[in-house]
Amino acid sequence: MTESAPGPKERTFTENARRKQIVTAAIDTIAEVGLAQASLARIAERIGVSKGVISYHFAGKDELIRQVVIDVVEAGRAYMIPRIFAESTGPATLRAYIESNLTFMREHRNYMVAVVEILRSGGMTTDGRKRVDGRNVDVATHLLQELLTRLQAEGGLRSDFDPWVMAVSIRAAIDSVPHRLVLDPDLDIDHYAKEVATIFDLATRLPQ
């Protein structure tokens, strides 16, 4: 009987906490000075550790930046999902989807600015690999399309709109906000969220 190869070493609570601290510092540093100027030394200085501490947890800046993108996406999902599924009607569910997504952006402005900075770099690592998986946008649109289709089937939204077209339109309205935040730090996201939610509520609501 042959022994199976050992799996990757499981990280301790302390190691996970340190990685999270480093990722947060990277986000704040990128948002403050831009991706090009966000060196490992500068990120380490922000949290009062040596550059070697970062190198212990991440193979290099490219790996750290990839983790930044992963953490931002996961944080957004964790924020939105319970708020969306807490609603019981079609219009309320769609409004929760839009407003929770945009509220997350307001509450985590540095996350959005950092991601925009990463995208501006072309989303590529120094060795030509992708830092950002472009499929994330397609996945978000596809999941929203599925949600809209389900709400239509349940009779919660009108049945005569194309859920794919509506999903693309909603995502376009949401995904434009990070870039606007970079240009206008004082953007009133709460007002924007209510207006966008109302627009798509009127576009999808059952006839009275």
> Mean pLDDT per segment of 10 residues, for the chain of length 208 residues?
48 89 96 93 94 93 92 94 96 98 95 89 61 64 96 96 97 94 91 98 94
Provide the domain count of the chain: 1
Please say whether the beta carbons of 197 and 98 come within 8 A.
yes
Q: Tell me whether residue 23 is in a domain.
A: no
Task: Read off the DSSP letter of residue 126.
Answer: T
Whole-model pTM: value is: 0.83
**Tokens standing for 103?**
């509220």
Q: Tell me whether residue 107 is in a domain.
A: yes
pLDDT at 129: 62
Q: Tell me whether residue 100 is in a domain.
A: yes
Q: Tell me whether residue 65 is in a domain.
A: no
pLDDT at 10: 79
Q: Tell me whether residue 187 is in a domain.
A: yes
Q: Tell me whether residue 120 is in a domain.
A: yes
Q: Tell me whether residue 106 is in a domain.
A: yes
Q: Which helix (H) or strand (E) holds 17?
A: helix 13-33
pLDDT at 9: 64
Please give the residue range of the domain that contains residue 184.
Answer: 70-204
Q: Tell me whether residue 7 is in a domain.
A: no
Q: Where residue 91 sits, what CATH number does that domain have?
A: 1.10.357.10
